[in-house]
Structure 1
Amino acid sequence: MKLLYWLDEWLTNSRSEQQAQLPMSGGDLLDNVYVKYNFVDVNKPLLFTFSPAGTNVQEQDLHEDFAPWGYHLAQKQQVNVISFQHLGKSNWFRSRNLIFFLEQLATLLEPFTYRLGYGLSRGGFAVGAFANLLQLDQVLLFHPVSTKNQKTAPWDDRSSTEIAQQFDWEGDYHDLDLGKAKGYIIYDPTNRIDRLHAKRYPELTHLRVFGMGHGTHATYLNKFGFYKQVAVDFIRNQQIDIAQFRQQTRTLRFKEDYYKRLSKVNSSSEHRLGLLSKAHNILIDEKEEHVQEHQAQIDVQPLIDIAIRHQDEHPKDAIKLLEMAQQLVPNDPIVEHKLRQLL
């Protein structure tokens, strides 16, 4: 537990001396959890990340450059970070050694006055369970899981719940304990279990994304940078621009592949397929209005100017530029006139 020893000694210095000793980074193995940390500035937020299911790293996969889930994202935002990566498939951060480490760590973080937590699914459980212990100020949770205690959440009948019963769900930190933390929880309200877990976080701002599912669309949403965009906003500003978030989800819904994937996932339910089809048709009309609205704001004059400037030396390139402008603003008389001249 090199980090604990380093922090204990680091705390004996003045704040200016503490800053002078940064940056500092390293890693520790705590039973079946690997922790990696990077401290860059005592005046910046400290971010805690916990890995979600699906990141099934084994101990033999660890190496000097290995980065737990969320670690690189924090580095790019130049904040302090402590990232926890579970090892193996069935691991809910219930290791006694890990809990002891976190209890000791919590007493050594006084210099970091603003603390954040970011987790997805299983990682979100850990953020919520340890939030009070770590004195988190703001949290960002995707696909919520509040606990796997079957007495507390008897409606969580996922297969993962049964597997998770090998761990202690009666002892310390087995359930959400946000303390003073505020923040955001993002989930699909049509997912019954996620919705019920989310209801257990009344302190947080609820942001709903229809069709997001739980894990099913994680790779798909990640493909469009959905998670990253929201997380970066949260880490940089310690809050989410909700208007921008709504625009992101609206843009996501305009992608045809979104409905194809949703239909595939819900292929066994005629009722859901009907709802999806109705929503898709509404969105087709909405998308057309959205495109027309933005086309009216597009200024293609720079493309026209460049085309005119180079039409003698590079007529083919000029035509391509004008054709591009025509795609952006169909039926524009100036673009059509210049194209007729060059063709």
Structure 2
Amino acid sequence: MKLLYWLDDWLTLSKNEQQAQLPFTGDDLLDDVFVKYHFVDLDKPLLFTFSPAGTNYQEHDLHADFSPWGYRLAQKQGVNIIAFQHLGRSNWFRSRNLIFFLEQLATLLEPFNRRLGYGTSRGGFGVGAFANLLQLDTVLLFHPVSTKNKAKAYWDTRSSTDIAQQFDWEGDYHDLDLGKAQGYIIYDPTNPIDRRHAKRYAGLTHLRVFGMGHGTHATYMNKFGFYKQIAVDFMRSEHIDIAQFRQQTKTLRFKEDYYKRLNKANAKSLHRLELLSKAHNILLEEKVEHVQEHQAQIDIQPLIDIAIKHQDEHPQDAIQLLEVAQQLVPDDPLVAHTLKQLDKDE
């Protein structure tokens, strides 16, 4: 627990002396959780991240440059970061050693005036469970689980609930405890289990994305940089521009895959499927008008220039940039020609 010893000594210094000791980077292994930290500036917030399901690393995957979920993104934003990465497939941050570490850590954070939490799904549970202990001010959660205590969330019938029963769901920090924390929760209200978990986070600002599903954050939505930009805005300002967020979600309606996911989420309701079909047909007409209205304003030349500049060194990245340009301006002959040439070379 190197961090605890370092913080204990660091707290004896004046603020100027503390700042002079930064940046400071290190890591610890706490049973089945790897923690990595990077402190850069006392005037910047301290961000806590907890990893989601699907990041199922093992201890043998750890190396000197290993970065837990959310760590590199936080580094790029220049904030202080303590990132917790669970190891193994079924891990709900219930280790007694981890909890002892967090309880000790909570007493050593006085120099950091602003404390943030960021997590999704299982990671959202981690943020919510330890928010009050760590005295978090603001949180950003994507479809978080609130608890796997069957008495409190009897309606969570996912297979992960039964698997999670190997852990203690009666002891400390087994349920959400936000304390004074404010912030945002983003989820899909058409997912009934996510919706019921979200209702338990009553004190947060609820932002709904229809058709998002539960595991889309790391795949479909992330492909468009949708959630990454939200996380970046949150880290930089502790704030999400709700009007802009709603405008972004509105543009998702123009993506065919969005309706496929909505149809899947509502497969058992013929009434909803009929409504979705009508809405989809209306949107197809709107999409044509939307594209025509905005195409003239889109300048894709910078994307083409960057792709051509780096095509020899990073051909796959160049192709991806051009594919984005082609989505923005589907009928541009220069993009089509350049992409065809790159595909041929590749």
Q: Partners of 1:100 and 1:79 in 2: how far apart?
A: 25
Cross-structure match for 2:44: 44
Q: Partners of 1:33 and 1:163 in 2: how far apart?
A: 18
Offset of 1:126 from its aligned partner? 0.6
Cα distance per residue 1:2-55 (max 9 Å; x no partner): 000000000000000000000000110000000000000011000000000000
Q: Secondary structure at the match of 2:139?
A: strand
Q: Could you tell me the percent identity over the aligned residues?
A: 80
Offset of 1:146 from its aligned partner? 0.6
Q: Secondary structure at the match of 1:133?
A: coil
Cross-structure match for 2:143: 143
Cα distance per residue 1:254-308 (max 9 Å; x no partner): 122333454466667655543432332122133233334435x7399x9xxxxxx
Offset of 1:250 from its aligned partner? 1.4
CA separation of 1:135 and 1:255: change in aligned 2, threshold 3 A: same
Cross-structure match for 1:298: 297
Aligned-residue Cα RMSD (Å) equals 2.2
Q: Partners of 1:235 and 1:265 in 2: how far apart?
A: 31
Q: Partners of 1:43 and 1:299 in 2: how far apart?
A: 38
Cα distance per residue 1:147-191 (max 9 Å; x no partner): 110101111111111111110000000001000000000000011
Matched, 1:70 2:70: yes
Unaligned stretches of 5+ in structure 1?
Answer: 303-323, 329-343
Q: Partners of 1:264 and 1:183 in 2: how far apart?
A: 30
Cross-structure match for 1:307: none
Matched, 1:132 2:126: no
Contact 2:210-2:262 at 8 Å conserved across structures: no
TM (norm. structure 2) is: 0.83
Q: Partners of 1:222 and 1:124 in 2: how far apart?
A: 17
Cross-structure match for 1:289: 289
Matched, 1:56 2:56: yes
Q: Secondary structure at the match of 1:254?
A: coil
Q: Secondary structure at the match of 2:160?
A: helix
Q: Partners of 2:196 and 2:118 in 1: how far apart?
A: 20
Offset of 1:227 from its aligned partner? 1.4
TM (norm. structure 1) is: 0.84
Q: Secondary structure at the match of 2:131?
A: helix
Q: Partners of 1:79 and 1:135 in 2: how far apart?
A: 17
Q: Partners of 1:299 and 1:80 in 2: how far apart?
A: 36
**Map of 1:1-343 to 2, 5 A cutoff?**
1-216=1-216, 218-263=218-263, 270=270, 273-295=273-295, 298=297
Aligned AA (1:145): V
Q: Partners of 2:180 and 2:269 in 1: how far apart?
A: 42
Q: Secondary structure at the match of 1:104?
A: helix
Aligned AA (2:156): D
Cα distance per residue 1:73-126 (max 9 Å; x no partner): 000000000000000010000000000000000000000000000000000001
Q: Partners of 1:158 and 1:237 in 2: how far apart?
A: 35
Q: Secondary structure at the match of 1:134?
A: coil
Aligned AA (2:167): F
Q: Partners of 1:262 and 1:189 in 2: how far apart?
A: 11
Q: Secondary structure at the match of 2:276?
A: helix
Q: How many residues align?
A: 305
Q: Partners of 1:108 and 1:299 in 2: how far apart?
A: 50
Aligned AA (1:298): Q
Q: Partners of 1:293 and 1:229 in 2: how far apart?
A: 25
Aligned AA (2:164): A
Q: Secondary structure at the match of 2:153?
A: coil
Q: Partners of 1:193 and 1:258 in 2: how far apart?
A: 20
Q: Secondary structure at the match of 2:231?
A: helix
Unaligned stretches of 5+ in structure 2?
Answer: 302-327, 333-346
Contact 2:138-2:181 at 8 Å conserved across structures: yes
Contact 2:50-2:126 at 8 Å conserved across structures: yes
> Structure 1 stretch 203-212 or stretch 282-291: which is displaced more?
282-291
Q: Secondary structure at the match of 1:135?
A: coil
Q: Partners of 1:185 and 1:162 in 2: how far apart?
A: 25
Aligned AA (2:243): A
> Structure 1 stretch 221-230 or stretch 91-100: which is displaced more?
221-230
CA radius of gyration, larger in: 1
Offset of 1:210 from its aligned partner? 0.1
Offset of 1:242 from its aligned partner? 0.6
